[in-house]
Every structure is written in C-alpha cells, then in structure tokens.
Amino acid sequence: MRLDLLVRGGTVADGTGGPLRRADVGVVDGRIVLLPGDSPVVEVERTVDATGAIVAPGFIDVHTHSDAVTLLGAAGHELSRASVRQGVTVEICGNCGISLFPALPERMAPMRRQSEAQFGEQIGIFQSFEDFVRAQRAVPRANHLVSLVGHGTLRAGVIGYADRPGSPDELALMCDLLDRALTAGAAGLSTGLIYTPGTYADTSEVVALATVAARHAKPYVTHLRDEMSRVEEALEEAIAIARLSGAALHVSHHKTAGKHAWGRTARTMPRLAGLRAAGMDVTCDVYPYTAASTSLSAMLPPWANDGGIDALITRLRSPEQRERMRQAIREGVAGWENTVGNGGWDRISVACAPRHRAAEGRTVAEIAVERGSDPLDVAAELLIAERGEVTIISHSMREDDVQRVLTGSFSMIGSDGVPKPGHPHPRWAGTFARVLGRYVRDLGLLTIESAVHKMTGMAAERFGLAGRGVIRDGAHADLVVFDPGLVADGATYTDPLLPPGGVRTVVVAGEIVVADGADTGRHPGKVLST
Ligand SMILES: [Zn+2]
C-alpha cells in the first residue's frame, strides 16, 4: 500500500462521539484510510508521529465573522493563521445576518461603506455567492471556508437600510436571491435580529425566507432578537419561525447575558432539549468565554442606525440626538436588547478602533473618567472619528450559564471570532484549545470524545458538510493532532492572538498546514459548497 501521509501511534477520537481507540490514520489523494495498529505499509511519503496524542477530524468553527480576513491581504495574515493554528480546518462565516453577498447592483454602493465598517479596509460587497467564491479563490488560505447567507445583507441588498417592512415584491426578490445563493452552495440562512437592518424585519419576513432555506434542507441560523432580559421571548420567536417555515433551527452563540438574564440558561436549555425530544431539529453553538464582542454601534438604540452609517454619524453629531440616545439607554426601548442598560459602560471595552489604538483594551467608562466626559459622548466621538468602525468587548455573561450551554448534548463549538486588526476578542485564537484544556482536562466537564464530537461530526451534520467531521475510510483528510495533557488557549484579552499550546499538527485536504505548532506556508483551503 502507498500512502501520502501516515499519522502513526495516536489515539483516535473519530468525531462521532464514539470511544477513543488506537489506530493509525493514512492519507491517499486527500482522503482518509484508517489502519488498525501496526498494519504493514509498503510506502509512505511522510510520517507524523502522534505518540501520546489525540488524532481528531479537523475542527469546524461553526460561527465566525472571518468572511473577509484573507481578503485583507497582509493586514489579515496573522489573524487568519490564528484559526488554523488551533486546529480549525473549516470556518463557517456569514453569521449574525452579515455576509459579503448577495445584493442588487444598484444597492451595492452604500453596502460597501457598511462592509468597510464591519470587516475593515476596502473589502466591498459581492453580488452573488459565485462572485464571493471567485474573490476568495484569488487569495491563498490554509483552511476551508463555508458561508451562510446573511439576512441583514440580503435586506440591505434589496431594500437598503430603511426602518420599514419590505413590500411583497421586495420580499419576493429577497427570497429569489436567497434561493440562488443556496442553490449555488451557501450553507443556510442567518439572521442577526439585534443588528440593523436585520432588526427592522418582523417575524413574517424571516418565516418567508426560512421557508426557502427549508426547501433546500438548509438550516435557519439565528442571533436571537434579544440575548438579555427578553431572551426567552426571543427564543420563542426563533422556535415559531422554525415551526412555520419547516427549517431546522440553529441558535447562534447561545447565551443569557446581562444581570437580568443571568441563570436563565437553566430554562432555555431544557426548553430546547424538550423540543428535540418531541422531534424538532434544533441545535445551538457556544464559545467558552463570559465576554461577548460586537460593534459599538449596536450599543445604541435601533433608530440611531436607521438609514445606515452616514445617517448614524449625522445623528451622533447632534447634541439633542445624543441626549435621546442617553435616555433610550437609561429607560430602554420596547423590543431592543439594550446591552449598556443591562450592564453599564464599565463592562464595555474597546477592541478594535484602527485610528485610536490607545483606546483599545480600555473600557468606555475609564476613557470617560479620564476625559471628564460622559461615556455616551466618548462612544459617539469614537464612532464619528472611526466612521462607524469600532468593535467592542462586553463582559456580560456568567460562568454557570456558559458551562450549562457548553455541556448541552446538542451544542457545538463556534468561536464567534471577529478577526480584525487591533485587540479582537481572544475567542478567535483560543476557543477550541480552551474547550479542550479548561473544560475537558482541567474542569472535567466534558470527555474528549464528546468535546471533539461537538467540534467536528455534530457540526458537519448540521451544516451539510458531507464526508467531513469524521475519521473513517474515504472521508476528507482534514485532521488535527493535539496533546491532551498540554492543549490550552494562549490568547488573552491583552494579547489576543497568542497561539495555543499542545496543538501539534493540522492537516487540510491531506496537506500539513501546521507542523509542531508552526505554519508550513501551505494553502490547500477552498470555499466549500454545500
Ligand atoms: Zn451574533
């Protein structure tokens, strides 16, 4: 027998959740050949010694905002490596209603501005999934990329950024663009119902779109309309959307954040488990941190963002409008999550502000005290100066909630990484190693088999990635070799791209992309169609 690669002497966690077993894993022409221990191999191109290590399918990061990271060129290089160095061989982007396609040609100019604020630099926007794939193909990548269709992008691409319901014609057009993108290979529909313009949609609009996803047997993936004080109502909306549309439901980065919602996973997780027991196809994902990360503009009431970034900046320049925003945060607005009202500016720190590097890593409250001004004025001035392009980290969750979601039998792992230059949340570079180090080894909350299943086979099944997420004969040769005694996240809030420890080798499409923890410079990654 001839092999391109042999991973010898390791213990296999095959991605199904089944028991660990001793086996050697061979690779021929990008596919796996499973070998019982000590089987005779005639000819081997390259051997990886996995003695003492776990050999698992490559990790699938089901929730990223890495849509543009390789398109950033040199500025994105270090960021894009952070994912693959922890063993991620497939990234699923297009989450929270935000993707880089599709759009009607006449809507694309204002969308370019929005995309610049969300992803940085001159990323632009693409008319179709095919155009997105072409742009990605032109730049090298180490691991694979899968994209959902973001509802916010779809809405902006047809209706624009106005706070109004779509007309029947507009809704039909949105359904048509979604249908084309799903036919071409996008993996499902995502919403971000706290973000403009997605938040302007009522339930019936989302039902109509999720019905298209259901027709393709692709999931409805949602960042709920509220993950704070009204998280349970928001979860019921998502359940209703799934029931009415017939789509499978996937709840993104499930959390109950802010002091009014702490502990509520004790109700939401049994609610989801009950639906599953009754035959409903519902799953979720989670990242292993008690801090969230999003745009600074999402800390403002939805009307503040009505009309897009230029309209937001105009409002932020007006003292009267700022006063209205302060009042909205203090008193709340019906149907709005209100992160700051639920926590406070002392829990919000600046993550990425390209023109204000000195502000990065500090809380908005701290900066306000130093300047002797009000936190909302600090936020407003930052947003104006950065043209809307500010990412924040919000320390809003409790550890018991994180653990309850993480240990749920239907939860998979998604970093929710926002890879932008600056001080991004460490979850982008640390999530998978942190689950294996902290929650499996140190706290003993999960077995290796079960954690690996959440990172691989369960994810592949949910997102239609045939032949991935498992180690078996004929599967795609995406693999990770890690040391269970050493694996640990290195990334911190102050140094967010520090690589993990204990991840020895990463293989994508049969090629070694990480060897002894170091980048090999190989780029076999592709955009995958589902
Ligand atoms: Zn989200």
Show me where the domains of the chain are located: 59-293+396-466, 295-393
When pLDDT is cut at 50, 70 and 90, the band that residue 37 belongs to is low
Residue position matching structure tokens 């941190």: 289
Distance CA 161, CA 196 (A): 7
- Bridge partners of residue 507, in order along the sequence: 479, 512
- Bridge partners of residue 512, in order along the sequence: 507
Do 424 and 293 form a contact (C-beta atoms < 8 A)?
yes
Q: Ligand 1 centroid to 470 CA: how many Å?
A: 27
pLDDT for res 149: 98
Q: Ligand 1 centroid to 98 CA: how many Å?
A: 9
Q: Ligand 1 centroid to 118 CA: how many Å?
A: 13
% residues pLDDT > 70 (the chain): 99
CA 480-141-460 angle, to 5 degrees, is 50
Q: Ligand 1 centroid to 403 CA: how many Å?
A: 19
For range 222-239, the mean pLDDT = 96
Q: Ligand 1 centroid to 96 CA: how many Å?
A: 4
Q: Ligand 1 centroid to 394 CA: how many Å?
A: 13
When pLDDT is cut at 50, 70 and 90, the band that residue 342 belongs to is confident
CA atoms within 13 A on the CB side of 226: 23
Q: Ligand 1 centroid to 292 CA: how many Å?
A: 9
Q: Ligand 1 centroid to 363 CA: how many Å?
A: 21
pLDDT exceeds cutoff 70 at 38:
no
Q: Ligand 1 centroid to 288 CA: how many Å?
A: 15
Distance CA 285, CA 303 (A): 29
The structure's pTM equals 0.94
468-522 pLDDT per residue, tens: 999 999 999 999 999 999 999 999 988 999 999 999 999 999 999 999 989 999 9
- The mean pLDDT of the chain is 95
Q: Ligand 1 centroid to 340 CA: how many Å?
A: 17
Tokens in use for 504? 């020895």
Do 118 and 295 form a contact (C-beta atoms < 8 A)?
yes
Do 123 and 100 form a contact (C-beta atoms < 8 A)?
yes
DSSP state of 43: E
Q: Ligand 1 centroid to 409 CA: how many Å?
A: 21
Q: Ligand 1 centroid to 9 CA: how many Å?
A: 40
Q: Ligand 1 centroid to 309 CA: how many Å?
A: 19
pLDDT exceeds cutoff 90 at 343:
no
Q: Ligand 1 centroid to 54 CA: how many Å?
A: 31
When pLDDT is cut at 50, 70 and 90, the band that residue 235 belongs to is very high
Q: Ligand 1 centroid to 505 CA: how many Å?
A: 30
Q: Ligand 1 centroid to 223 CA: how many Å?
A: 5
For range 178-182, the mean pLDDT = 98
CATH superfamily, domain 59-293+396-466, is Metal-dependent hydrolases (3.20.20.140)
Q: Ligand 1 centroid to 253 CA: how many Å?
A: 7
When pLDDT is cut at 50, 70 and 90, the band that residue 296 belongs to is very high
Q: Ligand 1 centroid to 193 CA: how many Å?
A: 9
Q: Ligand 1 centroid to 289 CA: how many Å?
A: 14
Q: Ligand 1 centroid to 189 CA: how many Å?
A: 13
Do 174 and 209 form a contact (C-beta atoms < 8 A)?
yes
Q: Ligand 1 centroid to 183 CA: how many Å?
A: 25
Torsions phi, psi of 254, nearest 5? -65, 130
- Region label for 55, one of left (φ > 0), alpha (ψ between -120 and 50) or beta (otherwise): beta
Q: Ligand 1 centroid to 176 CA: how many Å?
A: 25
pLDDT exceeds cutoff 70 at 47:
yes
Q: Ligand 1 centroid to 481 CA: how many Å?
A: 30
pLDDT for res 151: 98
Q: Ligand 1 centroid to 2 CA: how many Å?
A: 46
Report the 10 Å Cβ neighbour count for 37.
Answer: 10
When pLDDT is cut at 50, 70 and 90, the band that residue 288 belongs to is very high
310-321 pLDDT per residue, tens: 999 999 999 999
Q: Ligand 1 centroid to 192 CA: how many Å?
A: 6
510-519 pLDDT per residue, tens: 999 999 989 9
Torsions phi, psi of 182, nearest 5? -70, -35
Residue position matching structure tokens 């078996």: 472
% residues pLDDT > 90 (the chain): 88
For range 56-63, the mean pLDDT = 98
Q: Is the C-alpha dihedral spanning 479, 485, 490, 492 positive or negative?
A: positive
